[in-house]
Chains A and B, each alone.
Chain A
């Protein structure tokens, strides 16, 4: 076998004898193949781009929902007055043992200008909502028009897998409703009745919570997310859920 290989190698005609036409033909074929692969890669990239966005800078021109509701939090404005929590509870009939929105507190012992920071949190209405993926009965789902993650209470079996899947601790079981409850950007109580703002955004005296349609370039949330002078981030980006609640300072 080795002898055959050596023999074949000796019989190789080499590239010197190739005509220019053959070389040109070979190059054309290579370019075509490359084109097919490159085209395929570009197409696949395009499809990824359509799926992702909602992270600043990644996708500026298009958002999948009309309106695409979103919220920007100005962390340094928050003083933990909890009026947002109260307004949310009053508007959405939240029991005392639960919450749809909360304010986390971060101690910064070595901070020069401040030693504590407050961080309002709520459902991030993720584009890749893990809660909606895991729900066995589609009781929680992405609204196809506005991207809000909603609950169909009557379908909730109370397996609590959505609570487990949520990387933001945004869900709790409402014993009165016999279903998991969560923020719906006040869709049921306000947005669907023509009100522009969520209860929490309206109640905040410091203008921490900016709510609006991020698919509208004229909206404040769009401008806040797409400006480049201040850093804008999302919580737990490693969870890969493409959240629609953004954070910034200043």
Chain B
């Protein structure tokens, strides 16, 4: 225990003064960033509370036909990123790759933070969250992918918090045990998340075994980029130089990101080709909405350019040494990944369930655009991630990791 970051011999007063000292060590830019993200988080929380108490129907733009809007997209974005970060942290922290060791603890912390941000959004999306807390436990439905997903993510969150605490106090063996089980829980959770959509054979756009594979690959891709993004920001926040070890680590994460981008590109191309050739109606309409229809900008600009092609080119050009280029690549990837989730969730619903019947009102694609309130809550979740990340950097002293 003595070799941990938080020595056990400190008194509460000493810990408090140490924390205050660390928090006061930030520059002006740091405080502005903390303030902005904090305000964003608070405004988002107020909007979420307002919607929950006042009723979603008056504030959200979701409808009977499109019940899941941008908040679900946000939830998926955050929890998939959390899984990705957990996977990335496991490479060094659990499977012992020395290259990834320096980012392991930060990745665990960020995985906790992004998972909490996901829960923040989903609490605003669920209409009666209080019943969720009760009946998820006393009336579980074991055939429900949502039940498994929520339970497994909750379980993983608890385990990762324990893992993080064990890392802080320098007890690596239980930390690895918690981390390993959390990793399994997160993998199971993300496959169930994909199952929420993939098992619906009434929705051709989603149905099939493709989504779980896509989600896990996508998680790894975003997780690698997220750790690059936050690691570079953390170095700036803490005013630390990029040591050769850290550069090797970032270069390793970059390689993972490049590989996963290629896999996701491969998936995306073949999914599009198979839909264009086979033309399964529900799926074809959705894919065409993204290729040439109302979601073309979101697909080509957000999903293809920002999430895949631009980061791929930038990562390659950076050669793993150009830090700014890697920061830009990872930032674009995170932003683009949000569009990726948005497209997947919304396009699957804009195809009317009765489209094949050629009935009035269901022959055209349905329309959805998030309300101001929904956007504010989503931004609030980003604010929460930023706020906790910034605080964490100071409170946990830059997540300095010892070899274990």
- Chain A interface residues toward B at CB < 8 A: 97-98, 104-107, 119, 130, 133-139, 154-161, 163-169, 171-173, 175, 178-179, 235-236, 238-241
Q: Of B62, B64, B129, B362, which is within 8 A of A157 by CB?
A: B129
Apart from A159-B127, A160-B62, A169-B352: 18 A-B pairs, beta carbons within 8 A: A106-B359, A119-B359, A137-B135, A137-B147, A138-B140, A138-B141, A155-B135, A157-B136, A158-B126, A159-B125, A159-B126, A164-B203, A165-B200, A165-B202, A167-B202, A167-B203, A178-B128, A179-B128
A to B CB contacts below 8 Å, 8 in the list: A104-B360, A107-B358, A137-B132, A157-B127, A158-B126, A160-B62, A160-B68, A172-B64
Contacting pair A161 B196 (CB below 8 A): yes
- Identify which of A160, A166, A179 gathers the most chain B CB atoms within 10 Å of its CB: A160
Chain A residues with Cβ below 8 Å from B201 are 130, 238-240
Interface residues of B in 335-374 (CB under 8 A from A): 349, 352-354, 356-362
Q: Of B67, B125, B128, B131, which is within 8 A of A164 by CB?
A: B67
CA–CA, A137 and B202, complex, Å? 21
Q: How far is the CB of B159 from chain A (nearest CB, A)?
A: 21
Kindly report which residue of chain A lies nearest to residue B200, judged by CB atoms. Answer: A165
Chain B residues with Cβ below 8 Å from A97 are 57
Contacting pair B353 A169 (CB below 8 A): yes
Contacting pair A236 B57 (CB below 8 A): no
Contacting pair A136 B55 (CB below 8 A): no
Chain B residues with Cβ below 8 Å from A164 are 67-68, 200, 203, 349
Chain B residues with Cβ below 8 Å from A165 are 200, 202
- Identify which of B56, B68, B196, B359 gathers the most chain A CB atoms within 10 Å of its CB: B359
- Identify which of A119, A137, A139, A161 gathers the most chain B CB atoms within 10 Å of its CB: A137
Let me know if B143 is at the binding interface, CB within 8 A: yes
Q: Of A136, A154, A155, which is within 8 A of B144 by CB?
A: A136
Kindly report which residue of chain A lies nearest to residue B135, judged by CB atoms. Answer: A137
Q: Of B129, B136, B352, which is within 8 A of A136 by CB?
A: B136
Total B residues in contact with A, Cβ cutoff 8 Å: 43
Let me know if B65 is at the binding interface, CB within 8 A: yes
Contacting pair B144 A135 (CB below 8 A): yes
Contacting pair A134 B357 (CB below 8 A): no
Contacting pair A159 B360 (CB below 8 A): no
Q: Of B68, B141, B361, which is within 8 A of A135 by CB?
A: B141
Let me know if B246 is at the binding interface, CB within 8 A: no
Chain B residues with Cβ below 8 Å from A161 are 144, 146, 196
Kindly report which residue of chain B lies nearest to residue A167, judged by CB atoms. Answer: B202
CA–CA, A167 and B40, complex, Å? 38
Chain A residues with Cβ below 8 Å from B127 are 157-160, 173, 178
Contacts known (A157-B135, A175-B57); A163 close to B360, Cβ less than 8 A: no
Interface string of B6-32 (1 = CB under 8 A from A): 000000000000000000000000000
Chain A residues with Cβ below 8 Å from B131 are 137, 154-158
Contacting pair B202 A166 (CB below 8 A): yes
Chain A residues with Cβ below 8 Å from B55 are 175
Chain A residues with Cβ below 8 Å from B199 are 133-134
CA–CA, A238 and B201, complex, Å? 8
CA–CA, A139 and B68, complex, Å? 19
Contacting pair B135 A139 (CB below 8 A): yes
- Identify which of A133, A161, A164 gathers the most chain B CB atoms within 10 Å of its CB: A164
Let me know if B301 is at the binding interface, CB within 8 A: no
CA–CA, A136 and B138, complex, Å? 11
Chain B residues with Cβ below 8 Å from A106 are 357-360
CA–CA, A25 and B62, complex, Å? 70
Chain A residues with Cβ below 8 Å from B97 are none
Contacting pair A104 B202 (CB below 8 A): no
Q: How far is the CB of B360 from chain A (nearest CB, A)?
A: 5
Interface residues of B in 190-242 (CB under 8 A from A): 196, 199-203
Chain B residues with Cβ below 8 Å from A104 are 354, 357, 359-362
Contacting pair B139 A134 (CB below 8 A): no
Contacting pair B353 A133 (CB below 8 A): no
Interface residues of B in 49-68 (CB under 8 A from A): 55-57, 62, 64-65, 67-68
Q: How far is the CB of A158 from chain B (nearest CB, A)?
A: 2
Chain A residues with Cβ below 8 Å from B136 are 136-137, 157
Let me know if B385 is at the binding interface, CB within 8 A: no
Contacting pair B144 A107 (CB below 8 A): no
Chain B residues with Cβ below 8 Å from A169 are 64-65, 352-354
Contacting pair B68 A173 (CB below 8 A): no
Let me know if B4 is at the binding interface, CB within 8 A: no
Contacts known (A104-B359, A137-B135, A138-B139); A236 close to B353, Cβ less than 8 A: yes
Let me know if B145 is at the binding interface, CB within 8 A: yes
Contacting pair B140 A136 (CB below 8 A): yes
